[in-house]
Amino acid sequence: MAALAERLAAAAGVRQELGAALRLWLTAVPVANSVAGQAHIAGTVVQARDIGNIHVHQQAHQRHGSGPPRQLIPGPSHFTARTSDLAALEALRTGHPGLTPLTVVVTGAAGVGKTALTTHWLQAVAGEYPDGQLYVDLRGHAKDAALRPGEALGRFLRAFGVDHVPAELAEQAALWRTVTADLRVAVMLDNALSAAQVRPMFPAGPGALVVVTSRRRLPGLTLDGASFHQLSGLAIGSAVELLNRRLGGGRVARESAAARRLAESCSGLPLAVCVAAARIAARPQQSLASLATAMSSEDDRLGMLNAGGERAVQAALDDSYRTLSAGTARGYRRLGLLPVGDFGPLLAAAACSLSVEQAERVLDELIEVNLIEELGPERWRFHDLVRLHAAQRASAEEVPGAREETVIRTIDWYLHTATEARALLSPTHRRLRRDYAYEPAGLPAPFDSAEGALRWLDTERLHLMTALRAAVEHGRSAAVWQLADSMQPLFLRLRPYDLWIEAHRHGLAAARRAGHPEGESRMLTTGGSGLYNAGHYDEAVKWFTQALDGARRAADRRAEAQALHGLGQSHRLAGRLDRATGHFNEALALREEIGYVRGAALTRLCLGDIALATGDPHRAVVLLTRARSDLLAVPDPYDAARALAFLGRARAAEGTAEFAATDRQLLLALAEFAAAGSVHWQGRVLEMLGECAEDRGDHRAAAEWYGQSLARYAPVSPGDTRRLQERLRALDMG
């Protein structure tokens, strides 16, 4: 008791420092504090009676900003008519008993306005779904372009702060149902291909709303209790009104007969009306009558679009295309060949071999004639019919090989930009070769800091994977493994296990095809890390064993040490501590022999972790102190924060430091991980704080820290969740 009183007295002296460390973390991490029941206080909140009662909670949906996700795309600025359609949708919503999620399927022809109608409706009722509104374009207009369900689920899970997305679709769907079990969310699944594509994305909350849009009827969703609404074209009067709203200035009133004829030629398709209106606005001296005549022409050269056969859209697009300047027409054709669904000015510049200023002029002109849609600041996309038209014009007018060149330019831009991001985020890591066909020299990076680089990798992760898959398809083997290598900071810090493993499976095969031994070695080791982090320990051992064999054949001692270290970590996570220790000791000896300071520090960190696990905290402190010092000197702040976290835990177990001082180290590590953007390690440090509190007999504080750790792990890792639940149960029983 006397010792405990002495420690409490010492804690009072360092409480101010603990508060400073905690405030440092809070400035980097948005938090919300549970008060009672469903009440929450948003912002930076600290409740403190004593050190053990600090409560810090991070809401899952506050990952990149405050509040729940708001992903719905902007609604049309000139929405017209559709009163009966909106009433029918609202009747389905209000008449639903609310015992299960409501699924509504809106079907209709391409260009009929399904997305516009659904977006307009959901924006109007967004307040009924306070836990978030989510959107994804499933690209179901063509089977080979359709988004994979796992990619869409990954986006949704990450929007709610789940960084560690499982690798398998079934696990992703189960996690999504867990995350949404008590949430009122609205989910818009746009351009669906099939019932099988959308079914895994259905949330579990009984108050949730799912709206699916598709050109197909999707009868399979009747088995899921879906309601269906078929959307028809606009009535002629409504189409004329849409023209009037788009044009203004009385032009429609002055040429009412021609306006009606033009509306009729658009076949009630809002897309055709909008394209025609943009075309008229660009020609203030041209009469509506002349355009109506051109739109109704039966000229044979106006072929039918393959995606649905809407001649009105074809005619409107052809007419707008003929007015583009030569440079913009070329840009339109090339952008129609992009392998990704949306783009910004930098990608447009790289893909079209333009300067940024030239690309921006092309985009401005395409916006003026309504040929691209704005998704947000500096982000555009084609409607899929317009994209098809642009690709058709490219096939007819571009030189042979234009498609291949555009795709490869896209791949090279993503490779170059991701490599720049990696250099900012991992400056101490060895940089491997890069092979470009069209290196995008002269284009600025879309970020200027490590934080911005990680944000870009996160935002572009699916486009990066699309570029990687396109590289596989086009036989660009070097680019495949180099893209996987460039994405390593994303994989390591945000832990998208599904993408991590897929990228490295492709990358390993590609490096072997290309005959790049350094690429093969890198893929085996960084891919092996992904496998053991995802819990595939035995497969990770196989990958690292292959890396070890290759390194020894090549007499590459650095690579040999890396493989040994990976084997040690695989066995450590599998619970085989003796085998892990042997591999780590071999790796440490090699790394010290070749003078690889950072590598030796990382191995000491792992040996310190094992010493702690086997009840030798004094040895752990020695190893971790050296590791922390060496990593700070490199500098490698991310791994230095890992060493600090383990060091705080080891000193607490050793019992030679005041518990407040060990808490201070852990809180500082927490702040460093927050600054680095590593949610995974923030959760781990919270658990360590709970372990320290439990060791000193403060079960109330331990329960608080474990509760925060459990909240972090619950939507991410069943194994960690079970462990934390057991800890909490044991505390209750004690």
Residue 109 and residue 312 in contact, taking contact as beta carbons nearer than 8 Å: no
490: exposed, middle or buried (Cβ count in 10 Å: 0-12, 13-18, 19+): buried
How far apart, in whole angstroms, are the C-alpha atoms of residue 596 and residue 600?
6
The pLDDT, as a whole number, for residue 5 is: 39
CA dist 529 and 427 (Å) reads 19
Q: Are 305 and 271 in contact (CB under 8 A)?
A: no
The pLDDT tens digits for 571-599 are 999 999 999 999 999 999 999 999 999 99
The secondary structure of residue 443, as a DSSP letter, is P
The residue among 497, 489, 382 whose CA lies nearest residue 431 is 489
Q: What is the mean pLDDT of residues 94-117?
A: 89
E strands, 556-695, in order: none
Has residue 39 got a pLDDT over 80? Answer: no
pLDDT at site 312:
63
* Residue 528, both tokens: 């092996």
pLDDT at 47: 33
| Predicted local distance difference test score (pLDDT) of residue 689 | 93
* Domain definitions of the chain by residue range: 2-53, 83-230, 236-322, 326-398
Q: Specify the range with the lowest mean pLDDT, choosing from 121-125, 242-246, 441-445, 567-571.
A: 242-246
Task: Give the pLDDT mean for 68-72.
Answer: 92
3-class SS string, 561-581: HHHHHHHHHHHHHCCCHHHHH
Find out whether 567 and 545 touch, Cβ atoms under 8 Å. Answer: yes
Mean pLDDT is lowest, of 24-33, 63-72, 99-108, 342-351, for 24-33
- pLDDT for 716 equals 55
How many CB atoms sit inside 10 A of residue 629's CB? Answer: 12
pLDDT bin (cut points 50, 70, 90) of residue 296 is low
| Alpha carbons 29 and 320: distance in angstroms, whole number | 49
SS3 70: strand
Give the residue with greater pLDDT, 661 vs 120: 120
pLDDT of 273 > 80? The answer is yes
With contact defined as beta carbons under 8 Å apart, do 186 and 211 qualify?
Answer: yes
Residue 106: beta bridge partners?
213, 229
* The pLDDT of residue 267: 73
pLDDT at 51: 36
User: What three-state secondary structure class fits 624?
Assistant: helix
Question: Residue 535 pLDDT > 70, yes or no?
Answer: yes
Other beta carbons less than 10 A from residue 633's beta carbon: 12
Which of 134-148, 223-237, 292-306, 504-518 reaches the highest mean pLDDT? 504-518
Write the pLDDT tens digit of every residue in 346-404. 999 999 999 999 999 999 998 877 788 888 788 998 887 788 889 999 999 999 899 99
Cβ-based burial of 225 (10 A; exposed 0-12, middle 13-18, buried ≥19):
exposed
What is the pLDDT confidence band of residue 497, given thresholds at 50, 70 and 90?
confident
Q: What is the pLDDT of residue 593?
A: 96
Give the best-scoring range by mean pLDDT among 26-35, 77-86, 639-648: 639-648
pLDDT at 141: 73
pLDDT at residue 332 above 90?
yes
pLDDT tens digit string along 499-530?
A: 999 999 999 999 999 999 999 999 999 999 99
Token pair recorded at residue 635:
């500098």
In whole angstroms, what is the distance from residue 274 CA to residue 40 CA?
45
Predicted pLDDT at 719: 67
Residue 295 has a pLDDT of 64
User: What mean pLDDT comes out for the span 424-435?
Assistant: 91
Q: Is the pLDDT of residue 13 over 50?
A: no
**CATH fold of the domain at 326-398:** Arc Repressor Mutant, subunit A (1.10.10)
Supply the pLDDT for residue 732. Answer: 82
Greatest mean pLDDT range, 217-221, 335-339, 427-431, 657-661: 335-339
**Which comes out higher in pLDDT, residue 57 or 88?**
88
One of 1.10.3720.10, 3.40.630.40, 3.40.50.300, 3.30.428.10 is the CATH number of 83-230, namely 3.40.50.300
**CA neighbor of 463 nearest in space, from 563, 342, 615, 571:** 342
Q: Are strands 40-42 and 32-34 parallel, antiparallel or unpaired?
A: antiparallel
Query: In angstroms, rounded to a whole number, what is the distance separating the alpha carbons of residues 211 and 466?
Result: 26
Q: Reply yes or no on whether the pLDDT at 600 is more than 70.
A: yes
Average pLDDT over the chain reads 84
Return the higher-pLDDT residue of 591 and 99: 591
- Backbone phi and psi for residue 343, each to the nearest 5 degrees, phi listed first: -160, 160
pLDDT at 701: 92
Task: Please give the pLDDT value at position 297.
Answer: 56
Weakest-pLDDT range from 223-227, 278-282, 516-520: 278-282
Helices (H), 106-168: 114-124, 149-159
Block residue for tokens 């002349």: 290
pLDDT of residue 675: 81
Higher pLDDT, 540 or 691: 540
User: Nearest Cα to 119, choosing from 74, 155, 159, 89?
Assistant: 74
Over residues 20-42, mean pLDDT: 37
Q: Left (φ > 0), alpha (ψ -120 to 50) or beta: where does 353 sit? A: left
Taking only the tens place, the pLDDT of each residue in 645-703 is: 999 999 888 887 777 888 889 999 988 888 877 767 888 899 999 988 988 889 999 99
The answer to whether 453 touches 421, Cβ cutoff 8 Å, is: yes
Task: Please check the confidence at residue 7 and state whether its pLDDT lies above 70.
Answer: no
Q: Which stretch of DSSP H or E encloses residue 347?
A: helix 345-352
pLDDT beyond 60 at 438: yes
Higher pLDDT, 302 or 425: 425
Alpha helices in 180-282 (DSSP H): 195-198, 236-247, 251-254, 256-265, 270-281
Task: Please give the structure tokens belonging to residue 655.
Answer: 């019992």
Backbone φ/ψ region at 377: left (φ over 0), alpha (ψ -120 to 50), beta = beta
Cβ atoms of 496 and 490 within 8 Å: the answer is yes
Q: Which of 11-25, 32-46, 543-557, 569-583 has the lowest mean pLDDT?
A: 32-46
Query: Would you say 141 and 307 are in contact if contact means Cβ atoms under 8 Å apart?
Result: yes
Contacts of 411 (CB under 8 A, 6+ apart): 339, 467, 470, 471, 474, 476, 479, 483
